[in-house]
Amino acid sequence: MYKIAITGPESTGKSTLCEQLAEHYNTAFVPEFSREYLNKKNGKYSENDLTEILNGQLKLENSQVSKANKYLFCDTDPLVIWIWSKVKYGKVDLKIEKELSNHKYDLYLLTYPDLPWEEDSLRESEEKLTELFDLYLNKLQELGFPFKIVSGVGVNRLKTAITAIDESI
């Protein structure tokens, strides 16, 4: 089984792409844990919550492994939590650092911020999408993780992702 992380700035189509890929490849996907977690807290959180969100995301990921058929698509990964912490708090908890280094995926699909912004009460960084994208890109390169950039709108975005997967795995 291949684990593929859908990663990138907020409002770049990660959730939609994750579901579309799971449908295309007839397999399971891991939804974004933080959305449910933050909705329960009315969008209020602290730095300590990021470690809880990471733990919840990884637990959810582990629960989906047995349901996967060749691929498991993960909407969010430790890199998202790492960037979130670095940007919001200027530092990263050791547990998040450790998980980022140790919890590897076979491929990272980095979503480019070329989609229209979708307003959402949990989103915080509309004006920083390009800056955030660059942080993701630099960190993936620094860590040497295998990744492909996914851009385009609608069916073209999905086709770009499918091509990236088929050529990489």
pLDDT at 119 (0 to 100): 61
pLDDT band at 117 (very low <50, low <70, confident <90, very high): confident
| pLDDT tens by residue, 118-133 | 766 554 566 689 999 9
Percent with pLDDT over 70 in the chain = 94
pLDDT at 120 (0 to 100): 61
Place of tokens 């909407």: 75
pLDDT at 128 (0 to 100): 85
Grouping H, G, I as helix, E, B as strand and the rest as coil, residue 123 is: coil
The pTM of this model reads: 0.95
Residue 64 has pLDDT above 70, yes or no: yes
Q: What is the 3-state secondary structure (H, E, C) of 91-155?
A: CCCHHHHHHHHHCCCCEEEEECCCCCCCCCCCCCCHHHHHHHHHHHHHHHHHHCCCEEEECCCCH
What residues make up the domain containing 144?
2-168
| pLDDT tens by residue, 53-63 | 999 999 999 99
Indicate which CATH number applies to the domain containing 145: 3.40.50.300
